[in-house]
Copies of this chain bind each other. A is one copy, B any other.
């Protein structure tokens, strides 16, 4: 089903403006609408479509249903030196996440490290967007969130564990930062949704059906559950990340335990408290050169670092547009037209 016309390139700036206008049209304050649009388009630019503009209609539905608080009072439940627990009052996840990471960075600059827990939040999209803020500020950034319950643990056949992701980022002397952002399942859950939308099959090993059998049908995988990365390791990581994000914050954890919404943990460590930032990035450069300079596998185009491929893709797409699939383009057009906005983002 995935034919030539499945993908068309759209202009990144016009896409961002359209998404901001859609959310503003739905009642999101202008600054928050712009932030949300910027985060979603950034994910598409970096090739992380699973966290890009395909979420626009989902968030729009939540806003229309009144399940998101567009004017939250973000409250510090407790704030002591380098640590803080925030209650997000059910606001937009991307807005809360940006606020929380900004606070973690401020604390890192003052105390050497900042640890900010957030509860009563919503879906925050790609973690890399927030850890990148820390790297840009000369910090080691860390973020995790609890995510949808879709992982089947080793020994089980029911999805009972979240596909909880983590991200770590660090500055380099290159135009890209080291930025690792990964789900603890073999693949992110959105990849099944994307395969369904595009009518594609999935590789065996990603998911099991409702009886616990391997499947290459993304719909059956949705009914069953996703497999953890490397079995016990991915499962162990997923549980531990829910402990850090959900249990520690006093917010939602596990399958519907605690309060509603989702929970996160953000951390920044100021590199200058250990060694000068210039020395750090010089050492990073030595590490990068050593690994990139090692022997390549036959047919390999090179060895890449986490965040590097995404950066390269972003440059190409800023210049030539983002290939969006028919499903996402259709949804954006529908949202735009419902609000009387002009859908004019496709190139050529």
Listed in ascending order, the chain A residues whose CB lies under 8 Å from chain B are 78, 80-83, 85, 111-113, 115, 117, 140, 153-158, 160-161, 168, 170, 178, 180, 182, 186, 212, 229-230, 232-234, 236-237, 239-240, 242-244, 246-250, 253-255, 257-258, 269-271, 273-275, 279-280, 283-284, 286-287, 290-291, 294-298, 300-306
Contact = CB atoms under 8 A, between A and B. Distances in A.
A166 to B, nearest CB: 9
A240 B180 CA distance: 8
B274 A155 contact: no
A80 B273 contact: yes
B248 A305 contact: no
Contacts of A230: 186, 229-230, 234
B83 A274 contact: yes
Contacts of A280: 247-248
B306 A232 contact: yes
B301 A140 contact: no
A111 B111 CA distance: 9
Number of copies: 2
Contacts of A254: 286-287, 290-291
Given A115-B112, A168-B240, A275 B248 contact: yes
B156 A303 contact: yes
Given A115-B112, A291-B254, A305-B239, A248 B140 contact: yes
Nearest to A117: B274
A148 to B, nearest CB: 15
B229 A294 contact: no
A243 B301 CA distance: 24
